[in-house]
Amino acid sequence: MLSLLSLSQAYAAASPADADLFQSLRGVVAASRNWTHYTGLIVAAGVAFTLYGVLYRFALIPRVLAAFGVLAALSQMISVALPLFGHKVIFLMIYPLALCHLALMYWLLAKGFAEQRETPA
């Protein structure tokens, strides 16, 4: 992302005759930034998917909340991957994961993790 700063500095130092060159570079650098951003969002959704999958598997939070988190993470991954196939991001598919993170935060603040009971051997 520092390429945006470098391009901006080169543009400020360039002559007006080079304006067409910088307009061409603008599109390339902007696309580079977007692809990097989308890749980061896909990875973050993958991490959230893993988190909620583990929380579901070990029943550390209510399974409904964990299942909603898994589905919300899948929804975000699908939405953010759409530009890879020439479509636009559907922002309504991203919001459920944010709501799930908020619900998880409030649940953990109020209740914490479920305690594991030891069974006598």
Give the model confidence (pLDDT) of 42-53 as tens digits.
999 999 999 999
Joined together, the tokens standing for residue 33 give 């930034």
The whole-angstrom separation of Cα 39 and Cα 3 is 17
Per-residue pLDDT of 18-33, as tens digits, reads 778 877 787 888 888 8
Of 13, 115, 120, 119, the C-alpha closest to 60 is 115
Can you give the pTM of this predicted structure? 0.79
Please, which pLDDT band fits residue 17 given cuts at 50, 70 and 90? Answer: confident
The whole-angstrom separation of Cα 50 and Cα 82 is 21
> Does residue 10 register a pLDDT over 90?
no
Least confident among 1-5, 21-25, 35-39: 1-5
102 versus 115: which is more confidently predicted? 102
Per DSSP, 87 falls in state -
Of 39, 65, 40, the C-alpha closest to 53 is 65
The domain segmentation of the chain, as residue ranges, is: 2-110
Per-residue pLDDT of 58-105, as tens digits, reads 999 999 999 999 999 999 999 999 998 999 999 999 999 999 999 999
The whole-angstrom separation of Cα 91 and Cα 8 is 30
Q: Count of CB atoms within 10 A of residue 80's CB?
A: 22
Q: Are 34 and 80 in contact (CB under 8 A)?
A: no
